[in-house]
A and B are shown apart, each in its own frame.
Chain A
Amino acid sequence: MNCAKVEELSSEYITGMLPAPLEQAVRTHVQSCPACAADLETLKRVWTGLDALPAVEPPLFFHENVMSAIERQAVLPSRLSGWRMLLPQLGRVAASTLATGLAVAALGWTLLLPTLSGTEEYAAQQANPGVLTVPRTADEDSLGTTAAVPRLKIERITVVNPEVGPSYQFMIRLEGASRGTARLHLLPDNALSAKTVPVQRLILRTDVPAPPLVVPFTAVEGKSINLFASWTANGVVRTTYLFVPIPRNDALPPERQSFGLPVGTLPEIAREVAVRYGQPVILEDTANKRMLSLTAVEQTATEALRRALRGQGVQVLPSAQGIFVRPAAAAPPVLR
Chain B
Amino acid sequence: MPAITYIEFDGTEYHVDVAVGNSVMDGALNNMIDGIVAECGGCCVCSTCHCMIDPEWAEIAGEPNQEENELLEMVDVREQTSRLSCQVQVTAAMEGMVVRLPESQY
Task: Specify whether A and B are partners.
Answer: no
Give A residues with C-beta under 8 Å from B.
none
Give B residues with C-beta under 8 Å from A.
none
